[in-house]
């Protein structure tokens, strides 16, 4: 299936990440001008195209509908090309961010933060619906069952996610799980809809921008980026090393402790696995999987080990280092010398991923902006008149 080709590249489309992600069209925007009039459901004809950013801000002060005596209120928050977006959809997509607000947050700050979360969630759904409408139109005209395949893939992926959700929840039955969702103001159908529509929008965008990603992340582009950004690939002089500390206070005499440390060093030089010798460690390197403390000059402890480590060869076991409280048996795992890192396979993959993310971000914004220019987006006033 062609939508999955880009998935293997581990590229992430940022604007579909969730309510808490910063939205480029909203972050840092000024407040709407005084007297700005929101568009009501009975307002301008659907053919008119209001300013999307302005109307999103105008809707900020309209809260989620309150539930009275168990009554479920259904109201429309926005229209995208005449298709409604309901308050419940915005509430469900923002729920994780809303419940994460600190309980000690002052009421005024809480209200402002809730409005911000709502605004970003609404904008996310608007963007998603604009993308999906374009996807459904294009794929329906393709003459092949691409749309049905995309929907089936979304459903299959949600089923996998649902199993993990149920397991983490600890619910014993399906009904227990559904009741747990209801207690949180969510429904299984609502979660499924959000997940599947996010999945379809993400995969469709990936398919649209895939050619651009390929063109911008070839071997030549990787080499060019490496050559043009040498400051990003500078290695710092440092060491990765292992350490076994022998506490002299645990032995009858200091000489006995020294002798034991020398014996461990000798065993390591003969090829015995240094990691297995860690069972004799009396220090804290055991909690770091045997790794010595510090890697750069001025950071290494004990400081007596630093000049020795920077003179050793990779894999070498050094002389036993004596300090007032005992003895250190050390082994150099790897020395990194200052300078430009080699363009090996690992670094090439790192650069490729970075270029992919840059291209995805650029092309996603470009394509979404183009789709927005063709769309009619209206933000509706809440029925309460707020």
Q: Output the domain CATH number for residue 316.
A: 3.10.50.40
| Whether residues 179 and 241 fall in one domain | no
Strand partners, 85: 78
| Whether residues 364 and 323 fall in one domain | no
Tell me if 231 is assigned to some domain: no
Tell me if 142 is assigned to some domain: yes
Tell me if 346 is assigned to some domain: no
| Whether residues 112 and 84 fall in one domain | yes
Total domains present in the chain: 2
Tell me if 228 is assigned to some domain: no
Tell me if 28 is assigned to some domain: yes
Q: Domain of 253?
A: 237-337
Tell me if 353 is assigned to some domain: no
Tell me if 266 is assigned to some domain: yes
For 333-339, the CB contacts below 8 A with 24+ separation are 333/239, 333/240, 333/241, 333/242, 334/239, 334/240, 335/238, 335/239, 335/240, 335/310, 336/235, 336/236, 336/237, 336/238, 336/239, 336/240, 337/235, 337/237, 338/234, 338/235, 338/236, 338/237, 339/234, 339/235
Which one, of 115, 90, 114, 122, lies nearest residue 25 by Cα? Answer: 122
| Whether residues 184 and 292 fall in one domain | no
| Whether residues 149 and 212 fall in one domain | yes
Tell me if 175 is assigned to some domain: yes
Q: Could you give the CA distance from residue 318 to residue 311 in angstroms, rounded to a whole number?
A: 10
| Whether residues 158 and 215 fall in one domain | yes
Q: Is residue 13 classed as helix, strand or coil in its secondary structure?
A: coil
| Whether residues 198 and 244 fall in one domain | no
| Whether residues 283 and 365 fall in one domain | no
pLDDT of residue 91: 84
pLDDT of residue 3: 37
pLDDT of residue 353: 92
Q: For 3, which DSSP code?
A: G
Q: Is residue 128 classed as helix, strand or coil in its secondary structure?
A: helix
Would you mind telling me the total number of residues written for the chain in this entry? 386
Kindly tell me the sign of the dihedral angle through the C-alpha atoms of 8, 10, 13, 18. Answer: positive
| Whether residues 25 and 170 fall in one domain | yes
| Whole-structure pTM value | 0.57
pLDDT of residue 381: 63
pLDDT of residue 144: 66
| Whether residues 71 and 160 fall in one domain | yes
Which one, of 202, 263, 236, lies nearest residue 336 by Cα? Answer: 236
| Whether residues 19 and 160 fall in one domain | yes
Cβ atoms of 352 and 214 within 8 Å: the answer is no
Which residues, given as ranges, of the chain have pLDDT below 70? 1-74, 143-144, 381-386
| Whether residues 332 and 371 fall in one domain | no
Strand partners, 327: 246, 322
pLDDT of residue 74: 57
């Amino acid at each position: 299936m062609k939508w999955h080709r880009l998935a293997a590249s581990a590229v992430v489309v940022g604007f579909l990440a969730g309510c808490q992600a910063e939205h480029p069209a909203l972050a840092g925007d000024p407040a709407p001008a005084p007297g700005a009039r929101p568009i009501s459901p009975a307002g301008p004809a659907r053919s008119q195209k209001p300013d999307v950013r302005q109307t999103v801000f105008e809707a900020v002060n309209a809260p989620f509908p309150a539930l009275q005596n168990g009554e479920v209120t259904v109201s429309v928050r926005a229209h995208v090309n005449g298709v409604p977006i309901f308050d419940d959809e915005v509430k469900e997509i923002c729920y994780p961010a809303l419940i994460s607000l600190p309980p000690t947050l002052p009421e005024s700050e809480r209200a402002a933060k809730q409005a911000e979360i709502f605004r970003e969630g609404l904008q996310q759904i608007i963007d998603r619906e604009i993308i999906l409408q374009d996807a459904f139109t294009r794929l329906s005209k393709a003459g092949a069952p691409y749309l049905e395949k995309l929907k089936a893939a979304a459903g299959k992926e949600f089923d996998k996610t649902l199993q993990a959700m149920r397991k983490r929840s600890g619910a014993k039955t399906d009904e227990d799980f559904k009741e747990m969702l209801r207690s949180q103001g969510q429904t299984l159908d609502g979660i499924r809809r959000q997940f599947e529509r996010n999945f379809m929008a993400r995969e469709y965008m990936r398919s649209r921008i895939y050619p651009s990603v390929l063109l911008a992340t070839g071997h030549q582009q990787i080499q060019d980026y490496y050559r043009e950004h040498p400051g990003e690939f500078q290695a710092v002089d440092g060491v990765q090393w292992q350490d076994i500390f022998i506490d002299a206070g645990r032995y009858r005499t200091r000489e006995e402790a020294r002798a034991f440390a020398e014996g461990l060093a000798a065993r390591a030089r003969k090829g015995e696995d240094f990691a297995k010798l860690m069972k004799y460690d009396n220090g804290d390197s055991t909690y770091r999987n045997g790794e010595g403390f510090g890697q750069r000059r001025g950071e290494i402890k004990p400081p007596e080990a630093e000049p020795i480590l920077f003179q050793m060869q990779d894999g070498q076991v050094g002389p036993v280092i004596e300090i007032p409280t005992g003895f250190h048996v050390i082994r150099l795992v790897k020395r990194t010398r200052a300078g430009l890192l080699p363009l090996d396979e690992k670094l090439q993959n790192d650069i490729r991923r970075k270029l992919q993310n840059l291209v995805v971000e650029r092309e996603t914004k470009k394509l979404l902006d183009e789709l927005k220019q063709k769309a009619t987006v209206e933000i509706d006033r809440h029925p309460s008149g707020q």
